[in-house]
Amino acid sequence: MRTQKVWRRFSDIGPVASILSGAVALLAMSPAWAQDAADAPVIGTATLPRDLSPWGMYLNADPVVKAVLIGLAFASVVTWTVWLTKTVEILLAKRRVSAAMKRIAGVRTTTEGMERLAGMTGEVAQFLDAAVTELRLSAGSLENDGIKERVASRLERIEARCGRRILRGTGVLATIGATAPFVGLFGTVWGIMNSFIGISKSHTTNLAVVAPGIAEALLATAFGLAAAIPAVVIYNVFARSIAGYRAQLGDVSAEVLRLVSRELERPAAVQSAPARRAAPLTIAE
């Protein structure tokens, strides 16, 4: 009613009457207009329903980013597999060397040491077997120093071989630790590049449009760090453990060399002892 009174008051004004008549019509249909405006999409403020959980971001990611995530997940599985297997291997190797060293403690010859290690296989048995083999091949030789050098050479090769064997598999940890962050960064760069391409195509900078693609890209960096950090830590732990194992091998090598040295010098001592006993006693006048 109030609107109609205003209309009667200004009905004698021509242009204004036309404008007001249109306004009156719009106000009359305002409920329906408001409902239609609420239902219509608004350009630049539309929301994109996306699952931003890690699994949802993986499913919605670009194929290249998916490949990067799969590769990093595989690298993480390899890291923990190597950790489990090498931990057991190093632990058993150290215990085996310690037990063998306790068995041969106090032996006087390499043959006696082999008898004490009868039925046992391992690094210490290999050291003793190499020493016994070289002593047998060098039987009759008068150059004790040459025999010792040949025995030391055999022991050195066995020590190097055992060190290479125990190091097997740890190189992949160093590779993963060095390359995984850069692989994840590559996935991030690729995902952000695709996000900017999508922004240019949609002609909007709405955060709801930009955020999912950037989150999916950053997920690759997170996976890279999750694969690299454990690999570096585990590699450093293995490096210290393997250094301790190789120190044990060095102790075994030194002990075997001492046995060989005693065994080579013992016949000369046995032969000179009767001569010293048979020497006539001289009394100074």
Q: What is the 3-state secondary structure (H, E, C) of 155-211?
A: HHHHHHHHHHHHHCCCHHHHHHHHHHHHHHHHHHHHHHHHHHHHHHHHCCCCHHHHH
For residue 156, tell me if it sits in a domain: yes
In the block, tokens 């490096």 appear at 239
- Per the structure, the complete domain to which residue 143 belongs is given by 48-265
Instruction: State how far Cα 166 lies from the chain centre.
Output: 17
For residue 214, tell me if it sits in a domain: yes
CB 104 within 8 A of CB 128: yes
pLDDT tens, residue by residue, 233-276: 999 999 999 999 999 999 999 989 988 888 888 765 444 444 44
For residue 28, tell me if it sits in a domain: no
pLDDT tens, residue by residue, 131-170: 998 888 888 777 788 888 999 999 999 999 999 999 998 9
Q: For the whole model, what pTM was predicted? A: 0.69
For residue 41, tell me if it sits in a domain: no
Cβ count near 222 (within 10 Å)? 14
For residue 26, tell me if it sits in a domain: no
For residue 2, tell me if it sits in a domain: no
- Number of domains making up the chain: 1
pLDDT tens, residue by residue, 92-123: 999 999 988 888 888 888 888 888 887 777 88
For residue 12, tell me if it sits in a domain: no
Residue 281 has pLDDT above 90, yes or no: no
**Banded model confidence at residue 283, pLDDT cuts 50, 70, 90:** very low
Q: Could you give the CA distance from residue 285 to residue 8 in angstroms, rounded to a whole number?
A: 166
For residue 14, tell me if it sits in a domain: no
